[in-house]
Amino acid sequence: MTQRPAAGAAEDGDSPSTVEAYQSAILSAITPLAPARLELAAAEGCVLAEDVTATVALPSFDNSSMDGYAVHASDVARAVQQAPAMLPVAGEIAAGDVGAYRLAPGTAIKIMTGARLPAEADAVVPVEWTDGGTGQVAVYRAAEPGNAVRYAGGDAAEGETLLSAGARMRPMQIAVAASAGRKAVMVRPRPRVVVLSTGDELTEPGTPLVPGRIWDSNSYMIAACAREAGAVAFRHSVVPDDPAGVLPALEEQLSRADLLITTGGVSMGGEHDVVKAALRELGTVTFRKVAMQPGMPQGFGVIGPDKTPIFTLPGNPVSAYVSFQVFVRPAIAALQGADDLSLPAVQATLTGPVRSPAGRRSFLRGVLDGSEVTPLSGQQSHQVASLGRANALIVVPERETQLPAGHPADVLVLP
Ligand code: AMP
Ligand code: MG
Inter-residue contact 66 to 147 (CB < 8 Å): no
Cα angle vertex 319, ends 315, 321, to 5°?
A: 100
Centre of ligand 1 from the C-alpha of residue 3, in Å: 32
- Strand pairing report for 297-303 and 285-289: antiparallel
Dihedral over alpha carbons 251, 262, 297, 402 (to 10 degrees): 160
Q: Compute, in degrees rounded to 10, the torsion defined by CA atoms 30, 34, 39, 45.
A: 0
Q: What is the pLDDT of residues 9-63, one digit of tens each?
A: 456 667 899 999 999 999 999 999 999 999 999 999 999 999 999 999 999 999 9
Query: Nearest Cα to 216, choosing from 173, 179, 264, 176?
Result: 264
Q: How far apart are CA 115 and CA 397, in angstroms?
A: 58
* CB distance 231 to 192 below 8 Å: yes
Q: How far is the CA of 294 from the centre of ligand 1 (A)?
A: 13
> 0.85 exceeded by the pTM?
yes
C-alpha span between 113 and 193 (Å, rounded): 47
Strands 202-203 and 214-215: parallel
Look at residue 341 in the predicted model and tell me its pLDDT.
86
Phi and psi at 96, nearest 5°, equal 95, -15
Pairing of strands 184-188, 47-48: antiparallel
Of all protein residues, whose CA lies closest to atom 16 belonging to ligand 1?
Answer: 315
Q: What is the pLDDT of residue 268?
A: 73
* Each residue's pLDDT tens digit, 91-137: 999 999 999 999 999 999 999 999 999 999 999 999 999 999 999 99
Residue 339 has what pLDDT? 82
Query: Phi then psi for 337, rounded to 5 degrees?
Result: 65, 30
- Pick the closest to residue 57 from 153, 178, 151 (CA basis): 153
- pLDDT score recorded for residue 3: 36
* Closest Cα to atom 15 of ligand 1: 315
Name the residue of 195, 204, 263 to mutate for ligand 1: max ligand atoms within 8 A of Cβ.
263
Indicate whether 321 pLDDT > 50: yes
pLDDT of residue 270: 67
3-state secondary structure of 369: strand
| 268 Cα to the center of ligand 1, angstroms | 13
- What is the Cα–Cα distance from 202 to 380, expressed in whole angstroms? 19
* 367 bridge partner residues: 374
**Torsion angle of the four alpha carbons 231, 237, 242, 245, in this order, in degrees rounded to the nearest 10:** -70
- Residues, Cβ < 5 Å to ion ligand 2: 199, 264-265, 315
Which tens digits make up the pLDDT trace of 273-297?
Answer: 999 999 988 999 999 999 999 999 9
Please give the Cα distance from 326 to 361 (Å, whole number): 12
Residues recorded for the chain: 415
Q: 2 pLDDT exceeds 80?
A: no
Share of the chain above pLDDT 70, in %: 96
CB-based pocket (< 6 A), ligand 1? 197, 199, 201-202, 214, 216-219, 263-267, 314-317, 382
Residue 7's pLDDT band, with cuts at 50, 70 and 90, is very low
Q: pLDDT, tens digit, for every residue of 325-360? A: 999 999 999 999 998 889 999 999 999 999 999 999
Q: 327 C-alpha to center of ligand 1: Å?
A: 19
Mean pLDDT of the chain: 95
For 280, other C-beta atoms within 10 Å of its C-beta total 16
Asked whether the beta carbons of 199 and 315 are under 8 A apart, the reply is yes
pLDDT 10s digits, 150-164: 999 999 999 999 999
69: Cα separation from own chain's centroid: 44
Q: Give the chain's end-to-end CA distance (angstroms, integer).
A: 31
Query: What is the Cα–Cα distance from 296 to 306, expressed in whole angstroms?
Result: 28
The DSSP 8-state label assigned to residue 381 in this structure reads T
Torsion of CA 99, 105, 111, 116, to 10 degrees: 40
Task: Measure the CA–CA gap between 144 and 86, rounded to whole angstroms.
Answer: 17
**Is 218 strand, coil or helix?**
helix
List, for residues 239-277, the tens digit of each pLDDT value: 999 989 999 999 999 999 999 999 999 987 667 799 999
Q: Ligand 1: distance of its center to the CA of 186 in Å?
A: 40
Q: Which ligand is nearest to the CA of 243?
A: 2
**CA neighbor of 376 nearest in space, from 396, 393, 360, 361:** 393
Q: Return the ∠ at Cα 197 (arms to 380 and 279), rounded to 5°.
A: 105
List C-alpha distances in Å: 13 to 143, 187, 246. Answer: 78, 41, 23
What is the CA(199)–ligand 1 centre distance, in A? 7
Index of the ligand 1 atom closest to the CA of residue 219 = 19
Shortest-distance Cα residue to atom 6 of ligand 1: 315
Nearest ligand 1 atom, CA 201 = 12
Fill in the amino acid letter for 86: M
59-95 pLDDT tens trace = 999 999 999 999 999 999 999 999 999 999 999 999 9
Residue 195 Cα, ligand 1 centroid: separation in angstroms?
14
